[in-house]
Amino acid sequence: MKPDFRVEKVAAPLRQSVTESIRYAIALGHFSAGERLTERALCEMTGVSRTLVREALRQLESEGLIEVVPNRGPMVTRLSAEQAEGVYQVRTELEGLACQLFAEHASDKQRTALHEAFRNLKKSLKDTDPLARLRAKNHFYECLVEGAGNQALGDTLRLLNARIMLLRATSLRAPGRTTASLAELSDMMTALDEKNGKKARTLAELHVRNAAKTAIALLYAQPEPAPTKPKRAAKPTETASRLGSR
């Protein structure tokens, strides 16, 4: 099933919805690394105005998901394997801590919300829409961080969220990774239910390290981008000839 990135004009702030739509489109490979993003294409994809698209692009630039190249405009950031390793190192520590804090401090209501998110995640794995699967995985982690009860931790993870989501989508494209990921999360959920913070942290760290191995291997396997050919400088005689013909 082809994902639909058109924005639903509902209660959430429209700019936030537009930003999320473009972010998901990049994460799922609708736009590839290094690809130029035109306002016209983004307006057609999301069904909103250029003003909202521009605001969304500024937000995504601040997240490091796109970069504005002089004379070319916004382009999808190309994440190298080395950069991915750095993101995963930080993610391992942060998500491990989030699981430990959740196990030790989450309320009954937050535990119920996490279980519901996990059930939806398992259902989504049978869905042919990759966007539905990625949304479900992200919602699961949102519930996890909410239950951890540490605002600084949540703020830090949100700063990394765009790149984490991009790498999450990359790892889940690997054959067999989805099944393995679900098994790892099931073990982690058991530890959270037992309120065993240390065990939950260990299992969360293992889950991230396994995802890292998969995603980084895929990134290393990608062909190097072709170098951009510099424009040939005009010879003095050619410049003079063009000027004389005006």
pLDDT tens per residue, the chain (246 residues)? 667 677 665 545 888 899 989 998 988 888 888 899 999 999 999 999 999 999 999 999 988 889 999 989 999 988 888 888 999 999 999 999 999 999 999 999 999 999 999 999 999 988 778 888 888 988 999 999 999 999 999 999 888 877 877 776 666 667 778 889 899 999 999 999 999 999 999 999 999 999 888 888 887 876 665 544 444 544 555 544 444 544
pTM summary value = 0.77
Q: How far apart are CA 74 and CA 56, in angstroms?
A: 11
Q: How far apart are CA 85 and CA 81, in angstroms?
A: 6
> In this predicted structure, what is the pLDDT of residue 243?
46
With a CB cutoff of 8 Å and minimum separation 6, the contacts of 225 are 33, 34, 78
> In this predicted structure, what is the pLDDT of residue 229?
47
Rg of the Cα atoms in the chain: 21
Closest CA to 98 of 137, 144, 140: 144
Q: Considering Cα of 104, then 105, then 108, then 112, what sign does the dihedral take?
A: negative
> In this predicted structure, what is the pLDDT of residue 231?
45
> In this predicted structure, what is the pLDDT of residue 92?
95
Question: Is 90 in contact with 160 (CB distance < 8 Å)?
Answer: yes
Question: Is 206 in contact with 184 (CB distance < 8 Å)?
Answer: yes
- Residue 103 carries which side chain, given as an amino acid letter? A
Helix axes 14-27, 50-62, angle to 10 degrees: 60
> In this predicted structure, what is the pLDDT of residue 53?
95
DSSP state of 220: H
With a CB cutoff of 8 Å and minimum separation 6, the contacts of 75 are 34, 35, 36, 37, 66, 67, 68, 69
Q: How far apart are CA 201 and CA 144, in angstroms?
A: 12
